Structure 1
Amino acid sequence: MNCTLAPSCRSLSSGTRRWLTRAPMGRLSSEPFWLSEAARARMVVVSGTLSGRPLSSIWIMRMGPIVSKHGDGATFFAAPALLWCRRPKGRGVGMGTAEWGHMSGAQGVVDSLRRAGIPRVFGLPSVENSLLFDAVRRSAIELVLPSREAAAAAMADAHARLTGEVGVCVLSAGPGLLSGLEGLAQARRDSVPLLALVASGPSGGGAFAEPFPEAIAAARHLCKEAIRIESAEEVPLHLSRALRLCREGEPGPVLAEIPREVQLERARLEGTGFRPGPRVLDGGAEAGLKQALSLIEASPRVGLYAGAGAIEAAEEVAELAQRLAAPVATTISGLGLLPFSHPWAVGFGPGPAGSPVAEAAFRDRSLLLAVGCRFSAPATGFGSFRPTSPIVHIDAAPRPLGPDCPPVLSIAAPARLALRYLLDRLAQRDDPQLLQLILQQKRELRRALDERPERDEAVDPIRFFRMLREALAGEDVLVLDCGQHAFYALAAFPAMAPRRWLMPVDFRSAGFAVPAAVAAKLALPENRVVACVGDAGFAVSGFELLTARRCNISPVVVVFADEHLGLVRTAQDGIFGRESCVDLVPVDYEKAAQALGVAYVRARRDAELPGALQRALTLEAPVLLELRVDYRQSPRFLTAALRSEWQRLPRPLMLRLGARMLLRRLLGRR
């Protein structure tokens, strides 16, 4: 195959030029993506503008898949083992790009994170990612070393929930990534922007080759996208894209795989910046919002239902509530979007699983305006909340709500822009009676919490969270693990600020609270951070108190000790009338605290709570606070959720289980 060489090839020797004109195009690349089929059939040397993006003055790299996906008036020419690429003379760096300098791929990764404003990364070193860790150690980015990779993912998750920015964890391909899959799944289900940097071994094999490639294949299904970086030059471009994808549309995790040879490779890097692009309402969103505007104007009683996707629009939500005289209930992830002290805030809800204030305020709503939420099972009390009024659903990626739901108008749009569109066109309304009802319900809720009888044999979880709310400021952070204690917090710990209530909601993985508290304290060192965890959750995450010591921070970890899998036990008893495999081995938490080198405080009854809580919150050290709790009275959420689950059982099974449960109660069996 012969062709004519581009003019920029004239500096080559005559022998090289003769070889180039006869080199088969297939040797150039297994993916020459910038060429059409006709061009691949005719040419070896190609000159043209490629995506309007610049290249370094001269690149030399190994033959293989072409990894540079950008160029500007560049000329390519092939050789048996090398590929040269030269920018034409007189061309400067393209618009929006800048020369970063000559560095390794690992250094480019860290420099990309620094330029994106990432303050810290979480992870454990391994053979595959040692180059990345060495580059982080030499940079201004803080490196946090947890006890296990699952904790690294949980810390990155918590950092993202707390700050609204992307959380970054570093994992190795193989056991490290498998351990971190739990965190990736949780971030995906809870819409958390998380970037997982996965360092894989040499792609060509060898002593440190990737030990388990199936791990990356599994992670791809849990992430919005998985990106493999094939050369050092690609690092800025792909990390910029990965960070954008984490927050674009519905937030979620993105995986960036960085092979060891890419970490080692040195090149002159150019970056394009990490600022997100402007967000606008498209034509479909505007058409949907016009329909929504008509529905709202025709509905005399509107209720606002907001999730984590509306936190960025907290000011607009508050203004819209005032404009429409509408109560604002939130999902669990959206708690604190409006402080509970706000006149129109009614807390978690609506429905029987939510706050009694929300249930009363939403009882007669003629339209539900849902913003930034998904109507997931936990958000609706596992089906106990069944809306009957029409729904306008605004979300970055709205999902179908099911055939049993009332009419739904779904609008794919950013919350802030959509609400601003409505605010610019809606007239002021007033409803003093509803405002008085909300105020009265809040007073009754407070009175009911204050009048709970004191227990002598154990600590009442409701009383604990009531006291904790009084002791903490609105900007302090509460972190909850998956467990029964979290639903008592829903009943007695109203959120007073956005992003200060952290809890795994849709995936509900145990072991989140302790590592999340470490990340929260690192992000907000001046705020008090309290993590609440059950016996089982502490068993899988308690060693992260060593990470707190290593980082010289002082979170308070509260263990709700009842020596059972409390949530599972309550569910079994409520549905089947018996318990099975829920007993745990007792733990001496005082000795555990001593072994971990942290302070220890204990409360065994309600009377000991005030002193124990005050001491735990004032110690300048990591604290393990043990509560001997009694879960005899189920919170509203669990009562409503179990009732809903019971009602979904087939009628013959419901009757059989009911008769068996009654018999066991009469015989005094568990």
Structure 2
Amino acid sequence: MKADKTETRWNSGADLVVAQLEAQGVEHVFGIPGAKIDKVFDSLVDSPIQLIPVRHEANAAFMAAAVGRLTGRAGVALVTSGPGCSNLVTGMATATSEGDPVVALGGAVKRSDSNRQVHQSMDTVSMFRPVTKFAVEVNESSALAECVSNAFRHAENGRGGSAFVSLPQDIVDQPVAGNLLPPKGQITLGAAPDDLVSAVSREIAGAKNPVILLGLMASQPENSAAIHELLSKSRIPVTSTYQAAGAVRQAHFSRFAGRIGLFNNQAGDRLLQQADLIITIGYSPVEYEPAMWNRGSATLVHIDVLPAETDNCYLPDAELVGDIAQTVRKIAACVEAPLQLSDEAAAILEDRQQQRQLLALQGARLDQFALHPLRIVRAMQDIINSDVSLTVDMGSFHIWIARYLYSFRARQIMISNGQQTMGVALPWAIGAWLVDPSRKVVSVSGDGGFLQSSMELETAVRLKANILHIIWVDNAYNMVAIQEEKKYQRVSGVNFGPVDFKAYAEAFGAAGFTVNSAAELEPVLRKAMDVDGPAVLALPVDYSDNPLLMSQLHLSQLL
């Protein structure tokens, strides 16, 4: 028989919560205190965990999400009851859609007040359940460590996402007895079954126009390395969703058709339309709706850590569920000869390569002012080297960057297409910099998205974060405007007034820059990049060519 396990006595439930966070390996906690949760904040004073006060709770979740995406270990947000929790919802929904592990701890009224109309009483668990992988309230002090530990397990395993734990004030304030639970880490999966691997290998050998579609999970470094092996042996053409940015290495650039998303008019879309075999790796339909790219005529293979989320346009003929890297390496080992491209696929890839070269050679000649989006992308390409990380907000600029700015390091770029949440870039950048302070981080937003989280400039200044935030300025919600114009031939609710972003940045203590002519773009961009600390650069942009994004845009039309 096992000996009775003596429980540890803790001065407060908060002390146990913080100790469990330490046991999970948490290094940073992002949040805003309040009376219902301030005991946990007090316990953090005596902890090696770095507490980072933020200026809005949604941004705490965004920063935690960046930690989660880049490390695979859940980032942590800590907020108070009522509106402290409700402000988190957008950040938690975004994390789940993007596969980012996040654990949020939210304060709650005392259990005796939970069914009464008192200050900040709210059924937060019901509020979070639809947008998280796990949501629970701690009803007994003895369950504190269990609930926190399980939140990490749900957030980190399988496809990542968010988890929420509600902490009633009386439980965290009062002494408790309990023991820490040792972290189990991520569950180790095996490769998909050998018979399925063999069947897919035979499909590859017999295919005339196979295409690989990479999704979010493909951009995990280990999975990206395995995909490199498969592409090296098979030479199969490849495309990706926006979230898989950086998963394809430079060695395979000639057979990479670029990223696809939002509008079905890219080289990758054309490859998929003529394919007889489509292999998705680490893909979820939330990244790019299957109805947009799957005509149903190709054999469809799904490789992921989870079974497919099937719908009428995504019904895989084979599902290889298990560790992605191990499965892909097994398939690579079965490949006996590289693919000979069909004339159709070769023409699509050659045209894509010519467009890349056209932008590289002539993009700087777009000398109108305000600046053409491709001129900005061309200038940004020169500063986004392998040592720089990039976070991208949501807006028209997001499409130009996703299509035309390339990357060859897994998870070098954080880019969204799940909830398409505005305001993520700056808080993501802060979280990314905290994960690796040796790397410069560049974040990009429109002027609309920037002002949804720009209060975190103060956080960046306080942390001395080495971040350059670039704002594409047009005084409008342009991505909405171009869609309204196409549908209704007029716009509504999209225009707003100008802001002096240089002065705005300097008011927070950051360096501020603006570009006043096309000739200034490259020198001012380099000067802003040289700042060791937070800086903001405002770039007036001419979006008059944006309607072309919805059509078969060829760069020869512009360059």
TM-score, with structure 2 as normaliser: 0.89
1:368 aligned onto 2:278: yes
Displacement of 1:430 in angstroms is: 4.7
Where in structure 2 are the equivalents of 1:434-583 lying within 5 Å? Answer: 438=349, 441-452=352-363, 453-583=365-495
Secondary structure of the corresponding residue to residue 78 of structure 2: strand
Partner of 1:431: 340
Report which structure shows greater RCO (CA 8 Å, sep ≥6).
Answer: 2
Partner of 2:160: 251
Displacement of 1:554 in angstroms is: 2.9
1:270 aligned onto 2:179: yes
- Give, in whole Å, the separation in 2 of the partners of 1:289 and 1:542: 48
8 Å CA contact retained: 1:354, 1:381: no
- Give, in whole Å, the separation in 1 of the partners of 2:371 and 2:260: 29
- Give, in whole Å, the separation in 1 of the partners of 2:243 and 2:462: 30
Letter in 2 for 1:190: E
- Give, in whole Å, the separation in 2 of the partners of 1:343 and 1:355: 20
- Give, in whole Å, the separation in 1 of the partners of 2:480 and 2:540: 18
Which of 197, 202, 206 is 2:110 aligned to? 202
- Give, in whole Å, the separation in 1 of the partners of 2:536 and 2:129: 37
8 Å CA contact retained: 1:200, 1:210: no
1:379 aligned onto 2:291: no
Letter in 2 for 1:113: L
Distance of aligned partners of 1:240 and 1:485 in 2 relative to their CA distance in 1, 3 Å threshold: same
Displacement of 1:219 in angstroms is: 0.9
8 Å CA contact retained: 2:77, 2:104: yes
1:330 aligned onto 2:240: yes
Partner of 1:591: 503
Letter in 1 for 2:124: A
8 Å CA contact retained: 1:305, 1:369: yes
- Give, in whole Å, the separation in 1 of the partners of 2:269 and 2:385: 27
Partner of 1:84: none
Partner of 2:13: 105
- Give, in whole Å, the separation in 2 of the partners of 1:528 and 1:636: 33
- Give, in whole Å, the separation in 2 of the partners of 1:271 and 1:338: 41
- Give, in whole Å, the separation in 2 of the partners of 1:636 and 1:418: 40
- Give, in whole Å, the separation in 2 of the partners of 1:602 and 1:354: 35
8 Å CA contact retained: 1:395, 1:414: yes
Displacement of 1:407 in angstroms is: 5.8
8 Å CA contact retained: 1:355, 1:491: no
8 Å CA contact retained: 1:304, 1:321: no
Which of 408, 419, 425 is 2:328 aligned to? 419
Distance of aligned partners of 1:236 and 1:210 in 2 relative to their CA distance in 1, 3 Å threshold: farther
Secondary structure of the corresponding residue to residue 536 of structure 2: strand
Distance of aligned partners of 1:551 and 1:355 in 2 relative to their CA distance in 1, 3 Å threshold: farther
Considering fraction of residues, name the structure with more helix.
2
- Give, in whole Å, the separation in 1 of the partners of 2:20 and 2:350: 50
Letter in 2 for 1:370: T
Distance of aligned partners of 1:218 and 1:194 in 2 relative to their CA distance in 1, 3 Å threshold: same
Secondary structure of the corresponding residue to residue 176 of structure 1: helix
Distance of aligned partners of 1:210 and 1:117 in 2 relative to their CA distance in 1, 3 Å threshold: farther
Secondary structure of the corresponding residue to residue 560 of structure 1: strand
Partner of 1:123: 31
8 Å CA contact retained: 2:13, 2:141: yes
Letter in 2 for 1:392: V
Displacement of 1:497 in angstroms is: 0.9
Distance of aligned partners of 1:564 and 1:374 in 2 relative to their CA distance in 1, 3 Å threshold: same
Q: How many residue pairs get matched? A: 547
8 Å CA contact retained: 2:238, 2:256: yes
Displacement of 1:260 in angstroms is: 1.8
Distance of aligned partners of 1:572 and 1:254 in 2 relative to their CA distance in 1, 3 Å threshold: same
Distance of aligned partners of 1:253 and 1:636 in 2 relative to their CA distance in 1, 3 Å threshold: farther
Which of 41, 48, 52 is 1:140 aligned to? 48
Distance of aligned partners of 1:609 and 1:341 in 2 relative to their CA distance in 1, 3 Å threshold: farther
Distance of aligned partners of 1:427 and 1:129 in 2 relative to their CA distance in 1, 3 Å threshold: same
8 Å CA contact retained: 2:58, 2:90: yes
Identity in percent: 22
Distance of aligned partners of 1:539 and 1:448 in 2 relative to their CA distance in 1, 3 Å threshold: closer
TM-score, with structure 1 as normaliser: 0.75
Letter in 2 for 1:619: V
Q: Residues 472-523 of structure 1, C-alpha deviation per residue, up to 9 Å, x if partnerless? A: 2223111111111111112321022111211231101111111111112222
Which of 58, 61, 66 is 1:153 aligned to? 61
Q: Residues 432-472 of structure 1, C-alpha deviation per residue, up to 9 Å, x if partnerless? A: 88998757743542223432442332112211121111122
Unpaired stretches in structure 2, ≥5 consecutive residues: 554-559
Letter in 1 for 2:203: L
Distance of aligned partners of 1:443 and 1:450 in 2 relative to their CA distance in 1, 3 Å threshold: same
RMSD: 3.0
- Give, in whole Å, the separation in 1 of the partners of 2:228 and 2:547: 29
Distance of aligned partners of 1:384 and 1:362 in 2 relative to their CA distance in 1, 3 Å threshold: closer
Secondary structure of the corresponding residue to residue 165 of structure 1: coil
8 Å CA contact retained: 2:242, 2:260: no
Unpaired stretches in structure 1, ≥5 consecutive residues: 1-48, 60-99, 642-670
Letter in 2 for 1:316: A
- Give, in whole Å, the separation in 2 of the partners of 1:405 and 1:231: 43
- Give, in whole Å, the separation in 2 of the partners of 1:261 and 1:485: 48
- Give, in whole Å, the separation in 2 of the partners of 1:393 and 1:353: 22
Displacement of 1:414 in angstroms is: 3.0
Partner of 1:185: 93
Displacement of 1:316 in angstroms is: 1.3
8 Å CA contact retained: 1:112, 1:236: yes
Letter in 1 for 2:104: A
Specify the structure having the higher radius of gyration (Cα).
1
Letter in 2 for 1:171: V
Q: Residues 278-312 of structure 1, C-alpha deviation per residue, up to 9 Å, x if partnerless? A: 53349x85664454344334324432111112224
Distance of aligned partners of 1:558 and 1:382 in 2 relative to their CA distance in 1, 3 Å threshold: farther
Secondary structure of the corresponding residue to residue 322 of structure 1: helix
Letter in 1 for 2:34: S
- Give, in whole Å, the separation in 1 of the partners of 2:77 and 2:194: 38
Letter in 1 for 2:159: E
8 Å CA contact retained: 1:56, 1:268: no
Structure 1 runs (4+) greater than 6 angstroms displaced: 206-210, 432-437
Displacement of 1:107 in angstroms is: 1.6
Which of 201, 204, 212 is 1:304 aligned to? 212
